């Protein structure tokens, strides 16, 4: 054997042992033998660096140090999941599904692992990259750290596709977690609170050799990519397993919601025997074709549903109610609790939402309350334990004045929230609004963070977002912890934001109820800020999906002289206050007033491109056929019941080609 062959053969052998041990839980050699072979390989690779391989088993020991984790955009967005808590919720979901797809629906039931979600990219069978979920659109590149997790295959086996992403969860099994804690206590450190936070914290450690010491595991459940030749979710789990991934074998197929409920009932009891934390079950429509038809909401797939196991509950004492002021001036009451352990974390605060909620619970300082933690990070107060109420207890008086600026609060008819109306003089509002302005989905100003905004406002350097554009490097340099380089980045970031497109500027203004989607709609419809400023309430309401509440808020925003002045300044600084030439060029009114339903598989354009074309040309996309539908654009495999419905309502069914002709 040549040296190269020796190295290759040792790599293969160790890879197989790794797999046996960490994926199959079935080692066939002793740890000692393994270590000896690994050491031998390390020596050979060190002597012959020309044969080293970034995905060699020797690379799992770590050593690479990451100072800053690079931000990476996900090839496909990582969505969150909708939650359900009862049989009724699941039946409702089934009803919604059956409206949108035809034929029988099968479900894959999986456990919902409670860890840190991760996306792994493979190319030609080699592990290329690992990225955290982040905000779903982009996450942090944690490749060096994930490489040290032994159940993550660095090289795949079998008949894998040339390129794909696979998603899963990095978990810390209880046993390893407890062991880590024992060691920490021994050296006089605080024990970690819970496995999930420790798992996600581990991914962000700078020294990968430290990560290598932690007994993390990676459980996989979702393959994404194109040309995969996979037809169902269940099949994808089997394939992933065959390629060498650790895919838990709890997954099961169900033919009905009743069978799903059986799965849930079983695991509600048996989950306590699992080596790691689970907080529910994830149910997915099995057919990928049906998944495609169902698509996504802004936040989650319509084809999947999480079922949360009943949350744990504890009781504790309410010490005080404090009030927070948000960027829109909305007041949120917060319950300050006697610290209590709940589902692995210490709970000290809980949101009370609004005055109605306080009244409904009849909650008072000094009360003993029941606190519950569902999947959410923020715990909820479920009820007051009236048997424990102190005799002299008095009903809670909601505040009448802003805790920050003492302005009398207002509460509009039909609204749950109290507001501080001191729009331009209330600190948290001023700061919050600027923080929103610079945030990633708005102006996305690099080099400027929320805390710096607070510093800038407190130093009197800015009092609204238009002031940002007059900041000079000399102004910001004296700020706390502001180095020369960061001051420069800040100023550059502000300058660059001048090219952010109009719809995001509109969103950044922070008009109440104008979120991302509404901002897009308004930008598209009015095209310039001047036109929008002049819009009347009736006109606004006539814009698709704009209701009275939004219209009133938009009108009152532009009616303010202060806001007008700010907008004039932003315009003079060169921000995008209208759609660009390019945006305008792609948009027409050709489909104005027409509603389309899209069904089946397309060839020239993808389903999403088709929808975008409809919207760009002024049409509307709807997900189900009704008498208000004008056209059904049908691709291959259009569902028979959709077809029947369209025919019954005499709605024209057109092909992809017919459609494309409409917009030329
Ligand atoms: P949530 O964060 O509560 O919206 O739930 C969504 C998250 O559940 C996903 O981002 C995954 O990280 C996690 N998850 C755990 N197990 C599964 C599973 N079997 N299928 C899909 N997602 C899962
Ligand atoms: Zn105020």
Query: Which candidate, 431, 454, 316, places its Cα nearest to that of 379?
Result: 316
Query: Which candidate, 544, 499, 556, 491, places its Cα nearest to that of 517?
Result: 544
Atom of ligand 1 nearest to the CA of 116: 12
Which of 74, 113, 136 has most ligand 1 atoms within 8 Å of CB, for mutation?
113
Pairing verdict, β 217-224 and 107-113:
unpaired
Q: Which two tokens stand for residue 532?
A: 């929008």
Which of 264, 282, 300, 375 has most ligand 1 atoms within 8 Å of CB, for mutation?
282
Catalytic residue chosen out of the listed positions 37, 112, 427, 661? 112
Which of 76, 117, 133 has most ligand 1 atoms within 8 Å of CB, for mutation?
117
In tens, the pLDDT along 276-333 reads 888 899 999 999 999 999 999 888 999 999 998 876 778 999 999 999 998 888 898 9
Q: Whose CA is nearest to atom 16 of ligand 1?
A: 112
Q: Confidence band (pLDDT; 50, 70, 90) for 101?
A: very high
CA atoms of 121 and 200, how far apart (whole Å): 19
Q: Confidence band (pLDDT; 50, 70, 90) for 375?
A: very low
In tens, the pLDDT along 545-575 reads 788 888 999 999 999 999 999 999 999 999 9
Kindly give the distance from the C-alpha atom of residue 396 to the centroid of ligand 2, in angstroms, as a whole number.
Answer: 21
Contact call for residues 153 and 238 (beta carbons, < 8 A)? no
Q: Confidence band (pLDDT; 50, 70, 90) for 601?
A: confident
* C-beta neighbour count of 96 within 10 angstroms: 14
Ion ligand 2 — residues with CB under 5 Å?
402, 404-405, 407, 420, 422, 426
Kindly give the distance from the C-alpha atom of residue 343 to the centroid of ligand 2, in angstroms, as a whole number.
Answer: 36
Which of 79, 109, 217, 306 has most ligand 1 atoms within 8 Å of CB, for mutation?
306
Q: Which residue has the tokens 């206050």?
A: 577
Closest ligand (CA of 404): 2
Does residue 521 carry a catalytic annotation?
no
Q: Per-residue pLDDT for 517 more than 80?
A: no
Q: Which two tokens stand for residue 298?
A: 């802004």
Kindly give the distance from the C-alpha atom of residue 338 to the centroid of ligand 2, in angstroms, as a whole number.
Answer: 28
Q: Confidence band (pLDDT; 50, 70, 90) for 138?
A: very high
In tens, the pLDDT along 324-360 reads 998 888 898 999 999 988 766 788 998 898 999 999 9
The pLDDT value recorded for residue 507 is 93
The pLDDT value recorded for residue 191 is 63
Atom of ligand 1 nearest to the CA of 78: 10
Q: Which residue has the tokens 């207002």?
A: 410
Atom of ligand 1 nearest to the CA of 82: 4
Q: Which distant-in-sequence residues (6+ apart) come within 8 Å of 653 by Cβ?
A: 631, 632, 634, 638, 643, 646, 647
Contact call for residues 590 and 625 (beta carbons, < 8 A)? no
Contact call for residues 499 and 446 (beta carbons, < 8 A)? no
In tens, the pLDDT along 445-484 reads 988 989 999 999 999 999 999 999 999 999 999 988 888 9
Please state whether the predicted TM-score (pTM) of the whole model is above 0.85: no
Kindly give the distance from the C-alpha atom of residue 549 to the centroid of ligand 2, in angstroms, as a whole number.
Answer: 22
Atom of ligand 1 nearest to the CA of 112: 16
Closest ligand (CA of 307): 1
Query: Which candidate, 431, 441, 422, places its Cα nearest to that of 520?
Result: 441
In tens, the pLDDT along 629-645 reads 899 999 887 877 788 88
As a whole number, mean pLDDT of residues 16-45 equals 88
Q: Which residue has the tokens 């598209």?
A: 524
The pLDDT value recorded for residue 623 is 76
Kindly give the distance from the C-alpha atom of residue 363 to the centroid of ligand 2, in angstroms, as a whole number.
Answer: 25
In tens, the pLDDT along 605-626 reads 888 788 888 988 888 888 788 8
CB-based pocket (< 6 A), ligand 1 = 80-81, 110, 112-113, 117, 133, 169, 221, 282, 306, 375
Q: Whose CA is nearest to atom 7 of ligand 1?
A: 80
Chain centre to alpha carbon of residue 374: 17
Q: Which of the pair, 58 or 65, is modelled with greater confidence?
A: 58
Lowest mean pLDDT, pick from 90-99, 211-220, 408-417? 408-417
Q: Whose CA is nearest to atom 2 of ligand 1?
A: 80
Q: Confidence band (pLDDT; 50, 70, 90) for 186?
A: low
Q: Whose CA is nearest to atom 9 of ligand 1?
A: 80
The pLDDT value recorded for residue 376 is 41
Q: Which of the pair, 311 or 59, is modelled with greater confidence?
A: 59
Q: Confidence band (pLDDT; 50, 70, 90) for 544?
A: confident
Q: Per-residue pLDDT for 374 more than 60?
A: no
What percent of the chain is predicted at pLDDT more than 90? 59
Closest ligand (CA of 80): 1
Kindly give the distance from the C-alpha atom of residue 125 to the centroid of ligand 2, in angstroms, as a whole number.
Answer: 58
Helices (H), 139-191: 143-146, 174-186
Lowest mean pLDDT, pick from 220-234, 241-255, 557-571, 581-595? 581-595
Kindly give the distance from the C-alpha atom of residue 115 to the centroid of ligand 1, in angstroms, as a whole number.
Answer: 9
Q: Which two tokens stand for residue 78?
A: 């990582």
Query: Which candidate, 65, 15, 71, places its Cα nearest to that of 38?
Result: 15
Kindly give the distance from the C-alpha atom of residue 300 to the centroid of ligand 1, in angstroms, as a whole number.
Answer: 10
Q: Per-residue pLDDT for 424 more than 50?
A: yes
Q: Whose CA is nearest to atom 11 of ligand 1?
A: 117
- Average pLDDT in the chain: 90
Q: Per-residue pLDDT for 76 more than 70?
A: yes
CA atoms of 288 and 175, how far apart (whole Å): 36
Q: Which two tokens stand for residue 274?
A: 């699992």
* C-beta neighbour count of 626 within 10 angstroms: 11
Atom of ligand 1 nearest to the CA of 375: 3
Q: Quickly list DSSP for 551-619.
A: HHHHHHHHH-HHHHHHHHHHHHHT---B--HHHHHT--STTTT-EEEEESB-SSS-HHHHHHHHHHTT-
**Cα atoms in the 13 Å half-sphere on the side-chain side of 373:** 19
Atom of ligand 1 nearest to the CA of 111: 19
As a whole number, mean pLDDT of residues 2-19 equals 92
């Amino acid at each position: 054997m040549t040296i190269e062959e020796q190295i290759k053969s040792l790599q293969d052998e160790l890879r197989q042992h790794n797999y046996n041990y960490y994926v199959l839980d079935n080692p066939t050699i002793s740890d000692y033998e393994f270590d000896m072979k690994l050491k031998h390989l390390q020596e050979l690779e060190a002597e012959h660096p020309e044969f080293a391989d970034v995905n060699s088993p020797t690379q799992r020991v770590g050593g690479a140090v990451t100072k800053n984790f690079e931000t990476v955009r996900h090839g496909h967005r990582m969505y969150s999941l909708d939650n359900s808590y009862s049989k009724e919720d699941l039946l409702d979901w089934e009803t919604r599904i059956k409206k949108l797809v035809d034929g029988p629906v099968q479900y894959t039931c999986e456990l919902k692992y409670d860890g840190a979600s991760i996306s792994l990219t493979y190319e030609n069978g080699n592990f290329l990259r690992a990225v955290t979920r982040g905000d779903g659109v982009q996450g942090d590149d944690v490749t060096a750290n994930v490489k040290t997790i032994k159940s993550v295959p660095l090289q795949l086996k079998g008949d894998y596709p040339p390129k794909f992403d696979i998603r899963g969860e990095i978990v810390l099994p209880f046993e390893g977690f407890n062991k880590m804690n024992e060691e920490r206590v021994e050296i006089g450190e605080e024990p970690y609170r819970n496995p999930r936070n420790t798992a996600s914290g581990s991914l962000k450690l700078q020294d990968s050799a430290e990560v290598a010491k932690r007994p993390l595991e990676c459980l996989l459940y979702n393959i994404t990519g194109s040309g995969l030749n996979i037809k169902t979710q269940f099949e994808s789990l089997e394939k992933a397993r065959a390629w060498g991934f650790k895919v838990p074998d709890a997954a099961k197929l169900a033919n009905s919601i009743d069978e799903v409920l059986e799965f849930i009932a079983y695991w509600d009891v048996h989950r306590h025997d699992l080596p790691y934390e689970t907080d529910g079950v994830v149910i997915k429509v099995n057919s990928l074709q049906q998944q495609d038809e169902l698509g996504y909401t802004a936040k989650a797939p319509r084809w999947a549903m999480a079922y949360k196991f009943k949350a744990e509950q504890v009781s504790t004492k309410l010490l005080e109610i404090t009030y927070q002021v948000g960027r829109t001036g909305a007041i949120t009451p917060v319950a300050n609790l006697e610290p209590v352990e709940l589902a692995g974390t210490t709970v000290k605060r809980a949101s009370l939402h609004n005055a109605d909620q306080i009244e409904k619970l009849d909650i008072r300082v000094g009360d003993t309350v029941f606190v519950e933690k569902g999947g959410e990070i923020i715990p909820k107060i479920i009820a007051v334990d009236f048997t424990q109420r102190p005799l002299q207890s008095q009903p809670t008086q909601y505040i009448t004045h802003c805790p920050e600026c003492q302005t009398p609060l207002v509460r509009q008819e039909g609204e749950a929230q109290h507001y501080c109306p001191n729009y331009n003089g209330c600190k948290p509002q001023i700061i919050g609004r600027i923080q929103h302005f610079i945030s990633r989905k708005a102006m996305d100003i690099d080099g400027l963070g929320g805390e710096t905004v607070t510093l800038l406002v407190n130093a009197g350097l800015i009092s609204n977002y238009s002031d940002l554009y007059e900041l000079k490097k000399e102004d910001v340099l004296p700020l706390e912890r502001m180095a020369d380089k960061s001051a420069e980045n800040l100023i550059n970031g502000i300058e660059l934001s001048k090219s952010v497109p109009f719809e995001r500027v509109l969103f950044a203004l922070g008009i109440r109820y104008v979120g991302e989607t509404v901002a897009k709609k308004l930008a598209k419809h009015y095209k310039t800020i001047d036109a929008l400023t002049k819009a009347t309430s009736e006109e606004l309401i006539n814009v698709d999906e704009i209701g009275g509440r939004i219209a009133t808020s938009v009108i009152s925003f532009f009616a303010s002289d202060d806001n007008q002045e700010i907008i004039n300044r932003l315009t003079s600084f060169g921000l995008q206050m209208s759609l660009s030439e390019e945006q305008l060029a792609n948009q027409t009114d050709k489909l104005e007033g027409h509603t389309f339903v899209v069904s089946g598989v397309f060839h020239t354009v993808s389903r999403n491109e088709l929808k975008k074309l409809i919207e760009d040309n002024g049409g509307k996309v709807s997900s189900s056929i009704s008498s208000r539908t004008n056209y059904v654009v049908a691709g291959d495999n259009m569902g028979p019941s959709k077809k029947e419905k369209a025919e019954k309502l005499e709605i024209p069914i057109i092909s992809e080609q017919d459609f494309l002709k409409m917009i030329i």
